[in-house]
Amino acid sequence: MEQSTRAALDKLYHRGPDGEGIYRAAVEGGALTLAHRRLAIIDLSDSGLQPMKSDDERYVITYNGEIYNYVELRKELEGLGHSFRTQTDTEVLLVAWRFWGQKALDKLDGMFAFAVFDKLENTLTCVRDPFGIKPFYYCKEGESFVFGSEIPALLELLDHPVELNPQRAHSYLCWYEYDDGDDTFYQGVHQLKPGHLLTVHLGEQARTDVERWWWPSIEERSDLTLDSAAEELRSLFLSSVKRQLRSDVPLGAALSGGVDSSAIVCAMRHLEPDMPIHTFSYIATGSAMSEEHWCRIVEKHTGSIPHWTSNGIAEISSDLDEIIRAQGEPFGSTGVASQYSVFALAKESGITVTLDGQGADELLAGYDGYPTALFQSFIERGEYVKLKKFISAWRKWPGRSQRTAMLHLGDAAVPSALRALALRLIGYDLNPTWLDEEKIRAMGAKPVPPMEFPTSEEGRNRRLAEHQRSALLVSRLPALLRHGDRSSMRWSIESRVPFLTAPLADFMLSLPERYLVSSEGETKHVFRRAMRGIVPDEILDRRDKIGFDTPEKEILNKQRERIFSWIDAGAEVSFIKPEEVRKEVGSILDGTKPFSNRAWRMINYCRWASLQPSKVLLS
């Protein structure tokens, strides 16, 4: 066990290059080992090393993340008679758990994944923050339970081989679904879902109980006008940014030029008029995707110190292999490469903490406003005239059209039983030739199309709020948070996300849907209003969205020979047909088939599979 613990810690060096610690104890039913690598952010002294014991030595914690309101919690606990040895948020979390137990979770404002050993109860309690910003993977086999922040480290702790998960592979390859549950691309390896808690009873053959500790309501409030809602949202957002500026190491912000990242940078300046603000941007020089114009507006408005990376197709192409390794599991598009480049630039500039706009689109009803869910709300309320007017306004925005509006309307109206037929009618191949359906079925997968997102009675007439909640906690954001965590931690950078706090989510999910998406089809409607006077009007009035996107088709064509060799290596995966994958990818890159990120998904999966260690069985 000592050797495997050492190997696992080595795999996590990038997540914590500032120190390490190991705790071992004999427990009823066996032995317990907790290990930790530290990225020092608050209280840089050695007193912040983990695992950390409580004063009475009953509790031991290993913790990944940041408790932003640790200052306020510390004062509250000191007022209750508790004392502290360090200035760390880790000790505040430990004392809070010792005093309040699980009730402490409702008091925490932060991103975290932690495990607390209780000597008296002989339990290990594992907790993940409301949104799953910080990762937590685990595997339960017989009487053993192992966990870790990344899967490569966890695999070092297993004494048996693992197999690929064919169901997850099918969902990813065919339907672009991943990180939307507790399963992973490996059989038997799970992730603790956002807002969940897992208790391991160490003396009972490591019996585990999983429960949800946070799930926001979507009940609508009727006591707020649009203006008062904007006022309250402004206060909540500024409070979140202010807390997340706490750091004992250099801090900066990612700036894409969009509404969300611009709001963070402008809020930083609003709160700290004299603070030097370093911003980090990916600028696709000479491309229609370039955000240079918008970044310059924010830089001028805030007086920030700009840092740009303009990695071109060649540079991004050369990074793809390293990015695949860093992500640990397959991901959706090469857009991750631009995010990866931004964190590399921040590291090069001496920054250890960044603030990032991730999660704002899901929280504020961004993207295109989740039209399918909105249309469902109109239909359920019987507001057909309003629906017709809304569609007429919605379709006029950039990136939208009458055709896409009709597709969303069809999606809103089609019963689940007819979903497969509807998908065929709009061109989806339910049985792709490059996938060996017989083999994947034999391995236990069910190659069926995804059903519509689950609806409930709670969500009646509130389908947008219901869909936002699902996007935040189940179907979309978890994958984006994984991308951000692995890309930032690859460079030993802590990426903070001010939009993702429980109070902000509780508030936004309670608002009338017309406050989120206006009758004219404007997304993030109430937030744009809340930020007037803090963010330049030019930014708030933007109608397009680019973000850290990359010219994926050009990148893949530039690396054609290389990616075809990756596809050939995928022959080791028994349910992949390399020759057929070559044909499919070639047709997409040649333009004989419409371009989609399905090409990247096939390439990514084949390459990821070929990089697996020997203990991972590919067939």
Which tens digit of pLDDT belongs to each residue from 115-139? Answer: 999 999 999 999 999 999 999 999 9
pLDDT at 428: 64
Q: Is the C-alpha dihedral spanning 285, 287, 289, 292 positive or negative?
A: positive
Question: Which residues does the chain have with pLDDT short of 70?
Answer: 285-289, 311-314, 415-430, 450-454, 545-549
End-to-end alpha carbon distance in the chain:
28
| SS3 of residue 289 by DSSP | coil
pLDDT at 185: 97
Q: Does 2-212 carry CATH code 3.40.50.720?
A: no
pLDDT at 308: 94
Could you give the CA distance from residue 375 to residue 396 in angstroms, rounded to a whole number? 16
Parallel, antiparallel, or unpaired: how do β-strands 305-309 and 278-282 relate? parallel
Q: What is the pLDDT of residues 356-386, one digit of tens each?
A: 999 999 999 999 999 999 999 999 999 999 9
| SS3 of residue 498 by DSSP | coil
Could you give the CA distance from residue 102 to residue 93 in angstroms, rounded to a whole number? 11
For 414, the token pair is 């089609």
The amino acid at residue 162 is: V
Q: Is the C-alpha dihedral spanning 140, 142, 145, 150 positive or negative?
A: negative
Per DSSP, 183 falls in state B
Model's pTM, two decimal places? Answer: 0.95
pLDDT at 558: 86
- Name beta bridge partners: 26: 31
- Name beta bridge partners: 259: none
pLDDT at 171: 92
| SS3 of residue 319 by DSSP | helix
CATH of 226-364+477-540, one of 3.40.50.620, 1.10.287.70, 3.40.50.300, 3.90.1170.20: 3.40.50.620
pLDDT at 316: 76
Peptide bond into 166 cis (omega under 30): no
Q: What are phi and psi of 192, to 5 degrees?
A: -70, 125
For 345, the token pair is 């630039």
Whether 609 contacts 618, CB under 8 Å: yes
**292 burial type by CB count under 10 A (0-12 exposed, 13-18 middle, 19+ buried):** middle
Domain spans of the chain, in order of start: 2-212, 226-364+477-540, 371-473, 559-617
pLDDT at 549: 64
For 37, the token pair is 């690598």
